[in-house]
Structure 1
Amino acid sequence: MIGPHDPDGPEIATAPETPQASPWNLPNALTVLRILLVPLFGWLLLTEGGQDTSMRWWALLVFLVAILTDWVDGHLARRQGLITAFGKLMDPIADKALIGTALVGLSLIDLLPWWVTVVILVREVGITLMRFVVIRRGVIPASKGGKLKTVLQAVGLSLVMAPLVGWLGDLGLWVMYAAVLVTVLTGVDYVRQALAPGAARRA
Structure 2
Amino acid sequence: MEVQETRVQTDRVFTIPNVLSMARLVGVPLFLWLILWPVFGGPKNDGWAIAILMLSGVSDYLDGKLARRWGQVSRLGQLLDPLADRLFVLSTIVGLTARRIMPWWLTAILLAREIFIASLLPILRRHGYGPPEVNFIGKAATFNLMYAFPLLLLTTYDNWVGSVASVIGWAFVWWGTTLYWWAGILYAVQTRRLVKTQDGALSE
Q: How does the TM-score come out when normalised to structure 1?
A: 0.74
Residues 26-85 of structure 1: CA deviation (Å, up to 9, x unaligned): 111111111111111111112222998861121011111011111111111111111222
**Mapped pair 1:75 → 2:72:** no
Q: 1:187: which partner in 2?
A: 184
Distance 1:100 1:140 in 2: 19
8 Å contact from structure 1 (residues 140, 193) kept in 2: no
8 Å contact from structure 1 (residues 107, 114) kept in 2: yes
- Percent same amino acid at aligned positions? 24
- Residue ranges of structure 2 left out of the alignment (5+ in a row): 199-204
**Mapped pair 1:158 → 2:150:** yes
Q: 1:61: which partner in 2?
A: 51
8 Å contact from structure 2 (residues 97, 103) kept in 1: yes
Cα 1:33–1:185 shift into 2, 3 Å: closer
Aligned-pair CA distance for 1:182: 3.5
C-alpha RMSD of the superposition: 3.5
Aligned-pair CA distance for 1:148: 4.5
Distance 2:119 2:90 in 1: 15
Secondary structure of 1:166 counterpart:
helix
Q: AA paired with 2:147?
A: V
- Residue ranges of structure 1 left out of the alignment (5+ in a row): 1-7
> What is the count of residue pairs matched by the alignment?
189
Q: 2:15: which partner in 1?
A: 25
Cα 1:17–1:59 shift into 2, 3 Å: same
Distance 1:92 1:135 in 2: 20
Structure 2 counterparts to residues 85-104 of structure 1, below 5 A: 85-104=75-94
